[in-house]
Amino acid sequence: MRRPFIIDCDTGTDDALMLAAAVYHDDLDIRAVTSCNGNVGEPIVANNNINLLEYFGVKIPVARGAKRPLYDRPVNEGACHGASGLGDVVIPEAKNGLVSDVIASELIYQIAVEEKGELEILVTGPMTNLALAIVQHADLPGLIKKLWFMGGAIDGGNMNNSSEFNIWVDPIAAHIVLTSGIADMTMVGLDVTMKAVMTEEDIAELRTVGTPAADFAAAMLNFMITHAEERGEGAVMHDALALGAALDPDCMTYRSCVMDVEWQGAYTAGRTCLVNRERPEMGPNIRAAVTVDTPRFRRWLVDAISKSAGRQ
Ligand code: RIB
Ligand code: CA
């Protein structure tokens, strides 16, 4: 069954691994990959997306997007992803990259209209592009069939004790998206992504596949594991797990909740909050992942990237 899809990301190490798993899936018709400031500045993100998609041997348009968040946060220069956003892994510059001449927020809307309510969107970075599209086009939420996003947490944070990076970078954008009325939103937050950790065993298996995507994935996982101490985490598959929610949903369990984002607190801006008592009229608006079957997820991710062998 064809699933029209847009991936909006801030490519970065784990975004890149998510892309390697997404592009070979038979059902996904990835209409565009849209780029957002996040792990590194947007120009580097867009360049990573263009280079990666050509390296993976797929022709998917890349759109440039938000250069900064709606919220007044600093542009994040490669914290745990390195200055290039791809750690120490180097891939060739694309020679024939497909670059859209339409900015991300507008392309999201154009494709949503074309797909007549069947479009699914995966966001694995700050939500700036989608929020801009929503504020420019009031009918967009009704045209999005499903939203999957990596962000937030029911409990905890990685930027402080209560905020996760993607939401922390642009809490206003996340508030706009979560309160926009999109009918089906799935949150894959730190509660589950911190348990989605790949191992040396997975690297060894990927190295037997013999494709650019699998070789890249092995090299990226190796960087994440060998630089775990300085990065603050190992091969944690935040973004690939959000893709897993869309493509192998039973690898996790979920709970429905009423959720909004704090964006006004000096110290709490970026916190995903359960607001069922404060805003009962809003929901439930979010299905949040609460547990993950890590061995099943690891198996799924290696298999998804190994599908590149069939595309040689
Ligand atoms: O907090 C993890 C998220 O922030 C991931 O999407 C990672 O790529 C960074 O964007
Ligand atoms: Ca990301």
C-alpha 158 to ligand 1 mean position (Å)? 10
Q: How far is CA 53 from CA 34, 44, 118, in A?
A: 12, 14, 24
105 lines ligand 1 (CB under 6 A): no
Distance of CA 189 to the CA centre of its chain: 11
pTM of the model: 0.98
Each residue's pLDDT, cut to its tens digit, for the chain (312 residues) gives 999 999 999 999 999 999 999 999 999 999 999 999 999 999 999 999 999 999 999 999 999 999 999 999 877 656 688 889 999 999 999 999 999 999 999 999 999 999 999 999 999 999 999 999 999 999 999 999 999 999 999 999 999 999 999 999 999 999 999 999 999 999 999 999 999 999 999 999 999 999 999 999 999 999 999 999 999 999 999 999 999 999 999 999 999 999 999 999 999 999 999 999 999 999 899 999 999 999 999 999 999 999 999 887
Atom of ligand 1 nearest to the CA of 14: 8
151 lines ligand 1 (CB under 6 A): no
239 lines ligand 1 (CB under 6 A): yes
Identify whether the C-beta of residue 273 lies closer than 8 Å to the C-beta of residue 260: yes
Tell me the C-alpha distance between 201 and 87, whole Å: 20
Tell me the C-alpha distance between 304 and 123, whole Å: 19
Tell me the C-alpha distance between 135 and 139, whole Å: 10
List of residues 6+ apart from 191 with CB closer than 8 A: 153, 154, 155, 156, 288, 289, 290
* Full 3-state SS string of 68-86: CCCCCCCCCCCCCCCCCCC
42 lines ligand 1 (CB under 6 A): no
Tell me the C-alpha distance between 222 and 225, whole Å: 5
Identify whether the C-beta of residue 9 lies closer than 8 Å to the C-beta of residue 36: yes
238 lines ligand 1 (CB under 6 A): yes
Query: Which of 163-201 are b and which e, b meaning 16 or more Cβ less than 10 Å from the residue's Cβ?
Result: bbbbbbbbbbbbbbbbbbebeebbbbbbbbbbbbbbeee
Ligand lying nearest the CA atom of residue 236: 1
- Catalytic machinery residues: 238
Identify whether the C-beta of residue 258 lies closer than 8 Å to the C-beta of residue 150: no
Identify whether the C-beta of residue 31 lies closer than 8 Å to the C-beta of residue 104: no
Mutate to test the pocket of ligand 1, among 7, 8, 10, 35 (most ligand atoms within 8 A of CB): 10
Return the residue matching tokens 């730190």: 190
Mutate to test the pocket of ligand 1, among 45, 166, 195 (most ligand atoms within 8 A of CB): 166
Q: How far is CA 32 from CA 15, 148, 168, 250, in A?
A: 15, 15, 25, 26
